[in-house]
Amino acid sequence: MASCPHQSELSKLQPPKLSQSVHREDCTQCFDNQDGDDGIDVCLVCFNGACLGQDRHHARTHVARTGHAFTLNVVRRPKPKPTNSRGDDEPPAKMTKLAIAQEREEDKYDHRTVLRCWTCDPVDGGVIVADDDTTKRLTDGIMQSLSSARQSEVKAWEEEIFACSHPLLLEQLASGPIPAEGLAHCASCDLTSNLWLCLTCGALDCGRQQYGGTGGNGHALVHFNATQHPICVKLGTITPEGGADIYCYACNDARLDPELTTHLATFGINVMSQKKTEKSMTELQIEQNLTFDFSLTAEDGSALTPVFGSGTTGLSNLGNRYGEFLAQRETRSLIRFHYSCYMASVLQTLFSLSAFQDRYYRRPSSELSQDYVLEKAALHWASCSQALPADCLECQLFKLADGLLSGRYSHPHTEHRPFDSFLISLDTDVHPAPSDPLAHPAPEHTPWQIGLRPAGFKALVGKGHAEFGTMRQQDAEEFFGHLLTVIRRYNHQLRGGALGEGEPTEIFSFGLEQRLECLGCHRVRYRTDNMDVLSLGVPAAEIEGAGDASKPIYAPVPLELCLDLFLGQETVEYQCEAGCGKTQAVRRTQLATFPDVLVVHAKRFQLKNWVPTKLDIPIILPEGNLVLNDYLGKGLQPGEEELPDGSSSSAAASLPQFDADAMEQLEGMGFPTVRCQKALLATGNSGAEAAMEWLFAHMEDPGRQGCFRVMNELSVTADIDKPIQLGRPSVPEPPAEEIALLADMGFTYAQARKALLETDGNPERAVEWLFNHPDDTGEMDVPAGAAQTMTTRKQTTGGSPTLPAMYRLKGFISHKGPSVHSGHYVAHVLMPRAPNAMEDGNEAWVLFNDEKVVVADRASVAELKKLAYMYVFEKV
């Protein structure tokens, strides 16, 4: 081995700090990884990971760009499986309890490491540096650090549970033992499980129904709303060590009670005599997570055919779906199971579309070189402003496109994976959760792909986001909107404020036209919002005599009916800005333009015990193409007179026309003009008598608190003698997550936002406000950036008004589970010239279920698309 004359320079280098990301699992510009023949080269200066492939040479490119000469090459190989005396593979030990047992990498793999100097050989991969104390120090630093992928995941493994002020300041109002009969069932119903004991007064009530069918009528919540007693403990989860499920209704989250033993003793409950008889909330969540998956068998019971090749590469689930639960409460932590299937289903669907393939992968013409894709990514990296590819969204999108579309990573992986998915037949929702997951492995010889692990992409896209920055399950539709926003923001900054041509996200953009006509003066107002998703409510009609109370059967609903309900007209209560006062108006919603790709979001939710619950309402798609010609809006027509613009800078022009006779009568009685105007404004311009009553009621409180908000968004300020002010009082914009939560309950974005503004951002009060104002449309000025999909953008409205507007189903995303924030997502995509194509026209529906990619059978596609969560239609 030739000696390296630069070896002394290694003493200047330092191992990675705890806060630094070490990219040793895979290349930051492609999915070549440490399991490949050449392994990964980790830079000893910036800890970037790069591959050594001759066609990609990302390691050589990194050295040339940065001048960082030393790398550590890491190659990983699995250790031989232990065998028993018979020579067979030894089965894993049976789990006797739910417990977190960290699976150490060194127990599963051997690593071969070599330190290289690229200054000595910048073309063929560097010269190997001889081992000494310095190389050992640097090598140990790299190998003992958390990899970048593991570092981003470990932050979300544990969610700290802490003791809020409510258990610490708890005042117990009752004392003395509770008789046995008082702990037998809910005080308000006959339920004998899922019982929660109020630690203030000792009331025993049932919890909410959730976690895949656990019974509950929400009487503990009713008790809290009536008494404001915040802390309760779940009976059956109390252990002699003082552990138990504690919930604080005031905080609306799980909490710790450091004085639980003392608090229970007040009611005669000795924790030392308690025995755990019910599953904790986390154990129930684990059981639920094991339950939901999609069938990988055809209608006749045969296994669906795996496919491999270009465009059919699976994505490995970044969450450990079959982890184990740490029962010891001393850890003060709750392990929450998390998924990335919501992200995988969205990405597989996006990269099946030609706009994303053209932008990030596909060669535009056959005349170009076979290396066009690599050259395109390399050209970007040559001018990229980021120091590392892992920090550049464009680099990660190139990497993802190459991984999904090239086919180089789509090949069978036959190694047995004991925690693989359970097979669930189409004629049942789920199988009961197995008592021992290890006793139900997937078939050993099914040649599934190992799947790509887009951990770097997920960390970058979710960076700084309260939800997508975690590893918990999320809503696929919300992630879709978030991803489009992130891509647009990047491209906007890249091009200095203009999105420019070739922006792939604009294929989803369309205009939604809202027309409001006052029935008093027949003036109109038009507003066009840029949208990316058409969110449709789905009407629920139970079929009498079918199903049961716990699982009703719903009548199928044609997609056209959902469109008619949303893209139609309705009569609403309205405060006219033109001076008609409180009257009615007709609101009509139509499409101003049509997108190239239409994404339909089916909102099948109902609020049960204050928890959004998904309803299995079948949607019937049209037999042929989806035709939207009749939903095109026409904009302002000749002869129509527009309503005054409520956002005008002129106060005089924006004020309503007050009833002249009423003003004269009120002023004749000696009331100041501004008070007369406010009285008429507050009473809907309904005459002198009503205004006079209002004035007499407010004569003694000129400094009264609060304000009176009206539909035209003029405000009567706290001081009755101040002039009428334009616009709303300054209030903070509600968080997008809270708006989305209310929107999931079936309300529009505008209604959800206004409800939160009217209730100081309190979600519970906002729900109550919405139910008390069913006719309020939520019409308000929406500030820029307030919503990801409803913000009116400065640029022109996307899409085209050209007819005909016909669409063909390209893909759909399905979900199993009671809530979009749990369960499991998969994607179906119609693939042209798909491998093993079974459909007419040489096309096939391909199911992407994490790393498992199979040709879907016709029967399953027909059933699953009725209950899909998102539909993707391409314009034809």
Q: Which residues are catalytic?
A: 341, 824
Query: Any known ligand binding at 185?
Result: no
Q: Which two tokens stand for residue 426?
A: 């189409």
DSSP 8-class letter at 841: G
DSSP 8-class letter at 522: -
Q: CB-based contacts of 456: which residues, under 8 Å, 6+ apart?
A: 23, 28, 148, 149, 152, 390, 396, 399
Query: Any known ligand binding at 392?
Result: no
DSSP string, 92-159: PPPP-S-------HHHHEEEEEEEEETTT-TTTT-EEPPP-HHHHHHHHHHHHSPBHHHHHHHTTTEE
Query: Any known ligand binding at 206?
Result: yes
Asked if 31 and 51 count as a contact pair (C-beta separation under 8 A), the reply is no
Peptide bond connecting 5 to the previous residue in cis, omega within 30 degrees of 0: no
CA gyration radius for the chain?
31
Report residue 495 CA to chain centroid gap: 28
- Report the relative pairing of strands 231-234 and 333-335 from DSSP bridges: unpaired
**CA separation (Å) from 466 to 206, 735, 749, 826?**
31, 11, 20, 24
**CA separation (Å) from 338 to 477, 624, 790?**
17, 38, 29
Q: Which two tokens stand for residue 517?
A: 């006509």
What whole-number distance in Å separates Cα of residue 369 and Cα of residue 55? 13
CA atoms within 13 A on the CB side of 667: 10
What whole-number distance in Å separates Cα of residue 806 and Cα of residue 629? 8
Task: Name the H helices within 296-454.
Answer: 341-350, 354-360, 372-383, 393-405
Asked if 334 and 282 count as a contact pair (C-beta separation under 8 A), the reply is yes
Ramachandran quadrant class, 500 (left: phi over 0; alpha: psi -120 to 50; beta: rest) = left
Query: Any known ligand binding at 229?
Result: no
What whole-number distance in Å separates Cα of residue 616 and Cα of residue 660? 56
Instruction: Match 């009487």 to its residue by tokens.
Output: 219
What whole-number distance in Å separates Cα of residue 383 and Cα of residue 64? 14
What whole-number distance in Å separates Cα of residue 127 and Cα of residue 45? 17
Q: Which two tokens stand for residue 5?
A: 């004359």
What whole-number distance in Å separates Cα of residue 51 and Cα of residue 67? 17
Asked if 234 and 251 count as a contact pair (C-beta separation under 8 A), the reply is no
What whole-number distance in Å separates Cα of residue 750 and Cα of residue 782? 8
DSSP string, 437-467: GGGSPPPTT------B--HHHHHHHHTT-TT
Asked if 248 and 164 count as a contact pair (C-beta separation under 8 A), the reply is yes
DSSP string, 168-180: HT------SPPPG
Q: Which two tokens stand for residue 442?
A: 């997937």
Sign of the C-alpha dihedral computed for residues 652, 658, 661 and 662 taken in this order: negative
**CA separation (Å) from 294 to 37, 425, 431, 782?**
34, 8, 11, 40
Report residue 15 CA to chain centroid gap: 36
CA atoms within 13 A on the CB side of 704: 14
Q: CB-based contacts of 245: which residues, under 8 Å, 6+ apart?
A: 233, 234, 237, 254, 280, 281
What whole-number distance in Å separates Cα of residue 510 and Cα of residue 501? 16
Binding residues for Zn(2+), by number, are 186, 189, 206, 219
